[in-house]
């Protein structure tokens, strides 16, 4: 009885202390206003919006496990004879970086689990970030007013590639050392300044003596700090600009409909967080990844068979392998086109296109309105086809990164396989574009048929004249709304004769983007209602 009273008294004191602290903080900062606005924030409940959260929670796992690993890792390239727990490598000369990695794997309690969980979290983080960006691209969620958030996402993806490369290069094993040697060649291929950049980064000729410490600082301090700042900015913009949502009854371009942050969204988000943590820990415990003890310490005069980087930078490796051996000497300088084009120009053009695409599409459409409704990919066949063509281009380069392994497994000629990939990387994207565009138009035609004839019931009836007829029923109101409410701009009108070339180019591109379309059967009243639901938001509109 006395113990029960004491517990009640402690709880009352704790509640009073919490209330007093909250009141004191609220008097000095706008806590109540911020909390009220945040708790009323509407979050969509579609599964596709969880991809960004998976990336966020994978980043949290990376930060936690990476902090633990920094306590034991030594980024030193000084050589010493290995005398650790792993018997097959005893007596070999290895760097302190490699030795400390083996120490984490075999001597630190839970070290191998943490190291493998860290590696799996990096793979999942980049994958979730990439798929999240594809979702944003295919649904048009990068349009005004979210262009800045799209650019932040592209920058995050670029930093994630850099962070991953630095991370798997730190152990100084034979596989990562080969990748670092490739990076040195890429830097040296830059005309005029390449040699100077290489000497500056590596501290002299390869393999240098200070590059590992510089990469370690970039991996644990510089790049993570930039990524955390960009993630914070991204989340703030998401809260400020509101989420996009799919066209459904009650959801228009002028509101934000969804579950409130607390308690519905918070409960689901916490569950997803725990699931991501659990799956990554499970993978770290049962799925071996990057077994550096099998590769051995790095030596500049050796390279292992089947040496490929992690998948997210595999497209660069594939581009290097497919590029013909083109070189020129100009003014005493060797221009290494076989390295410069696939490893410097290609990624530069890729990220430049990603940065500028929202502004390019806005220029083509002439659309300055805000958009909060997601596009169905089939309703934008050219944009969807461009995205699929880019994915196919990336997939071919990624497959080409393992052409030696594929040739060995299937016992085919490496030269023949390389030429197959060269043809595929040129012909594959245009073919994927054409097929995807036709599929999107076919799906639009199917939607029009559903609106006209309704859904098939599976029943077949026979008229008195003997004619067989399939049974159908009208579409439900929610399904009809989803098919009719779409925001597809019309092509721009042809400019007058003698107009500037940029206007003629803009009109031609607009026609190419939007001339192929399937109009949905709708009455005049329905078209007016669709126009009202796709209009831009009114000033001061409140979210629901």
Residue 528 pLDDT greater than 90, yes or no: no
Residue 25 pLDDT greater than 90, yes or no: no
Residue 62 pLDDT greater than 90, yes or no: yes
* Other CB atoms within 10 Å distance of the CB of residue 327: 12
Q: Where are the domains of the chain?
A: 43-349, 376-453+476-531
Q: Where are the alpha helices (DSSP H) in 323-380?
A: 337-340, 346-365
Tokens linked to 317: 């490796």
Residue 69 pLDDT greater than 90, yes or no: yes
End-to-end CA distance of the chain: 49
CATH of domain 43-349: 1.20.810.10
Residue 185 CA to residue 169 CA, distance in Å, equals: 15
Residue 415 CA to residue 407 CA, distance in Å, equals: 9
Higher pLDDT, 126 or 497: 126
The mean pLDDT of 453-474, rounded to a whole number, is 79
pLDDT of residue 8: 80
Residue 341 CA to residue 344 CA, distance in Å, equals: 6
Across the chain, mean pLDDT equals: 89
The mean pLDDT of 61-67, rounded to a whole number, is 97
CA distances from residue 336 to 20, 346, 419, 463, 484 in whole angstroms, order as listed: 69, 14, 21, 76, 54
The mean pLDDT of 210-238, rounded to a whole number, is 94
Residue 14 pLDDT greater than 70, yes or no: yes
Q: Where are the alpha helices (DSSP H) in 71-110?
A: 96-106
pLDDT in tens, 318-374: 999 999 988 888 877 778 899 999 999 999 999 999 999 999 999 998 888 888 899
pLDDT in tens, 163-176: 999 998 999 999 89
pLDDT of residue 481: 87
pLDDT of residue 31: 65
pLDDT in tens, 119-141: 999 999 999 999 999 999 999 99
pLDDT in tens, 405-441: 899 899 999 999 999 999 999 999 999 999 999 999 9
Instruction: Tell me the three state secondary structure of residue 202.
Output: helix
Q: Are 400 and 423 spatial neighbours (Cβ–Cβ below 8 Å)?
A: no
pLDDT of residue 463: 75
Residue 108 CA to residue 284 CA, distance in Å, equals: 15
Q: 36 CB contacts (<8 Å, ≥6 apart)?
A: none
The mean pLDDT of 140-156, rounded to a whole number, is 95
> At 225, is the pLDDT very low, low, confident or very high (cuts 50, 70, 90)?
very high
Residue 68 CA to residue 461 CA, distance in Å, equals: 70
Helices (H) and strands (E) in the chain, counts: 21, 8
Query: What angle is formed at CA 340 by the lines to CA 336 and CA 342, rounded to 5 degrees?
Result: 125
The mean pLDDT of 512-527, rounded to a whole number, is 86
Residue 387 CA to residue 376 CA, distance in Å, equals: 14
CA–chain centroid gap for 352, Å, is: 16
Q: Are 223 and 29 spatial neighbours (Cβ–Cβ below 8 Å)?
A: no
The mean pLDDT of 528-534, rounded to a whole number, is 79
């Amino acid at each position: 009885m006395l113990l029960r009273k004491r517990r009640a008294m402690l709880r009352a004191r704790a509640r009073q202390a919490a209330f007093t602290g909250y009141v004191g903080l609220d008097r000095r900062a706008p806590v109540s206003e911020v909390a009220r606005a945040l708790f009323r924030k509407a979050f969509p409940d579609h599964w596709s919006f969880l991809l960004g959260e998976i990336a966020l929670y994978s980043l949290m796992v990376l930060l936690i496990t990476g902090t633990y690993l920094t306590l034991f890792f030594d980024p030193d390239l000084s050589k010493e004879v290995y005398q650790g727990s792993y018997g097959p490598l005893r007596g070999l000369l290895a760097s302190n970086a490699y030795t400390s990695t083996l120490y984490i794997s075999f001597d630190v309690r839970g070290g191998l689990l943490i190291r493998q969980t860290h590696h799996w979290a990096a793979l999942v983080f980049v994958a979730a970030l990439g798929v999240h960006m594809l979702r944003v691209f295919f649904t048009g969620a990068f349009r005004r007013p979210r262009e800045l958030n799209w650019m932040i996402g592209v920058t995050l993806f670029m930093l994630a590639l850099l962070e991953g490369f630095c991370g798997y290069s730190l152990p100084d094993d034979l596989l990562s050392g080969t990748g670092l040697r490739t990076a040195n060649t890429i830097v040296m291929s830059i005309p005029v300044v390449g040699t100077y950049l290489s000497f500056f980064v590596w501290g002299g000729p390869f393999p240098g003596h200070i590059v590992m410490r510089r990469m370690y600082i970039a991996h644990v301090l510089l790049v993570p700090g930039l990524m955390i700042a960009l993630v914070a900015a991204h989340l703030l913009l998401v809260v400020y600009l509101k989420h996009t949502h799919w066209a459904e009854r009650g959801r228009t371009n002028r509101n934000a409909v969804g579950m409130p942050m607390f308690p519905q969204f918070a409960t689901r988000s916490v569950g997803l967080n725990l699931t991501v943590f659990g799956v990554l820990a499970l993978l770290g415990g049962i799925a071996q990844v990057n077994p550096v003890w099998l590769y051995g310490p790095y030596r500049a005069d050796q390279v292992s068979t089947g040496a490929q980087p992690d998948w997210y930078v595999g497209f660069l490796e594939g581009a290097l392998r497919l590029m013909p051996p083109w070189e020129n000497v100009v003014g005493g300088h060797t221009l290494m086109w076989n390295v410069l084009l696939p490893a410097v120009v290609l990624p530069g053009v890729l990220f430049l296109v990603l940065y500028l695409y929202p502004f390019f599409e806005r220029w083509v459409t002439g659309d300055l309105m805000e958009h909060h409704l997601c596009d169905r990919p089939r309703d934008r066949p050219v944009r969807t086809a461009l995205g699929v063509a880019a994915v196919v281009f990336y997939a071919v380069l990624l497959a080409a990164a393992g052409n030696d392994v594929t040739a060995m497994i299937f016992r085919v000629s490496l030269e023949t396989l390389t030429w197959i990939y060269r043809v595929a990387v040129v012909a594959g994207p245009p073919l994927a574009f054409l097929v995807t565009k036709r599929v999107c138009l076919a799906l639009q035609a199917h939607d029009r048929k559903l609106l006209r004839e309704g859904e098939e019931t599976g029943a077949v009836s026979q008229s008195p004249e003997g004619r067989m007829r399939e049974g159908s029923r009208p579409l439900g109101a929610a399904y009809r709304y989803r098919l009719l409410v779409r925001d597809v701009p019309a092509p721009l009108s042809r400019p007058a004769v003698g107009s500037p070339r940029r206007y003629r180019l803009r009109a031609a591109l607009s026609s190419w983007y939007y001339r192929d379309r399937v109009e949905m059967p709708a009455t005049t009243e329905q078209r007016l209602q669709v126009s009202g639901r796709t209009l831009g938001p009114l000033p001061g509109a409140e979210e629901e």
